[in-house]
Amino acid sequence: MPQDKDKDKDKDKSLPILPVRDTVLFPHAVLPLTVGRESSVQLINSLGEDKTIVVVAQREARVDSPQPSDLYSVGSLAVVHKVVKMPNQSLFVFAEGLERVRLVEFTQLTPFMNARVETVPESIPPKDRTVSKP
């Protein structure tokens, strides 16, 4: 039973949202991301021991200061493995996708976005699509 309490606690937890342009991070994939926006750099620099973020694609790559309506509603829960500071003040971030999540409610917009998320279950193919041997 204590495990259920942990799940409920996670559901109420707000996570930082990293908007990305022209990129989708899938679960179980590791992706190098260039982080250059001031708000995104602050987000990465604010991470403490818990390096969990949510990576979400922007609908329009040209938007420089994305708002919640500029983001897709599904992204990837991710863990940041490594951050490299670049000479031009941007960051090179290696993030690993953990699972698909849906943005439920934004809890903070500045200096970077935070939101509560819920896990999107992996789809399971229907039984009638499996091939049976005669």
Cα-based distances in Å from 48 to 16, 45, 102: 12, 8, 23
Span 121-129, average pLDDT: 65
CA distance 29 to 24: 10
Q: Give the mean pLDDT of 108-131.
A: 81
pLDDT tens for 43-97 read 999 999 999 999 999 999 999 999 999 999 999 999 999 999 999 999 999 999 9
| pLDDT attached to residue 3 | 43
**Where along the chain do its domains lie?**
11-123
How many Å apart are CA 113 and CA 69, to the nearest integer? 12
pLDDT of 12 reads 61
Binned at pLDDT 50, 70 and 90, residue 124 comes out as low
What is the Cα–Cα distance from 60 to 20, expressed in whole angstroms? Answer: 10
What confidence score (pLDDT) does residue 123 get?
Answer: 74
What phi and psi, each to the nearest 5 degrees, are found at residue 23? -140, 140
What pLDDT, in 10s, does the model give residues 6-51? 444 445 689 999 999 999 999 999 999 999 999 999 999 999 999 9
- This prediction has a pTM of 0.83
With the C-alpha atoms ordered 67, 73, 79, 83, is the resulting torsion angle positive or negative? Answer: negative
For the domain made up of 11-123, give the CATH fold.
2.30.130
